[in-house]
Amino acid sequence: MKKQILWITQTAVMLALLVTLQVLTKGFGQLVTGSFVNAVLAVTVLVAGLSSGITVALISPVLAYLLGIAPQILTVPAIMVGNAVYVTALYLIAGKDSRNFVRQIAAWLVAAVAKFATLYAIVVWLICGVLAERLLSSGVMKPPMLQVLPATFSWPQLITALIGGAVALLIMPILRKALHK
Q: CATH number, domain at 67?
A: 1.10.1760.20
Q: What is the pLDDT of residue 170?
A: 94
pLDDT, mean over the chain = 92
Could you read off the pLDDT of 78-136 as tens digits, one per residue? 999 999 999 999 999 997 666 788 899 999 999 999 999 999 999 999 999 998 899 88
Q: How many domains, in total, are found in the chain?
A: 1
Helix (H) or strand (E) holding 66: helix 50-66
Question: Domain limits at 57?
Answer: 2-179
pTM: 0.93
Amino acid identity for residue 111 in this structure: A
Contact 90/100 with Cβ under 8 angstroms?
Answer: no
Amino acid at 36: F
